[in-house]
Amino acid sequence: MSVMLNRPAHAITWARIEDDFFVGSRDGEFLGFIDVEESGRYVVCDQFSRPIGQYDELDGAMTALNAASADALDQTGAA
């Protein structure tokens, strides 16, 4: 089964818990979270709280988590 064919049906869903804390999930599984530091930077971490990167905008942080989870999907077949 093609990973590419699977992707549209397994889009990331996003949720806000606080104004400075967001989580991304796919099929109910956590991909990671976005935490806004006091400096205003968006810190992206995976589901094990391992840092992925820091970004100036929420959109950039979302793109980074999406890309990191897509990479994991490509490598393992599961994010």
Residues at the site binding another protein, with contacts judged by CB under 8 A: 13-19, 21-23, 25, 28, 30, 33, 35, 49, 58
- Nearest to another protein of 9, 18 (CB atom): 18
The answer to whether 1 and 7 are in contact (CB under 8 A) is no
Measured from the CB atom, the residue of 5 and 17 that comes closer to another protein is 17
CA dihedral 35, 25, 68, 39 (to 10 degrees): -10
Please give the backbone phi and psi of residue 13, each rounded to the nearest 5 degrees, phi first.
Answer: -105, 145
Question: Closest separation between CB of residue 5 and another protein, Å?
Answer: 23
Q: How far is the CB of 21 from another protein (least distance, A)?
A: 6
In the complex, least distance from residue 15 CB atom to another protein, rounded to whole angstroms: 5
Angle of CA points 7, 5, 27, to nearest 5°: 35
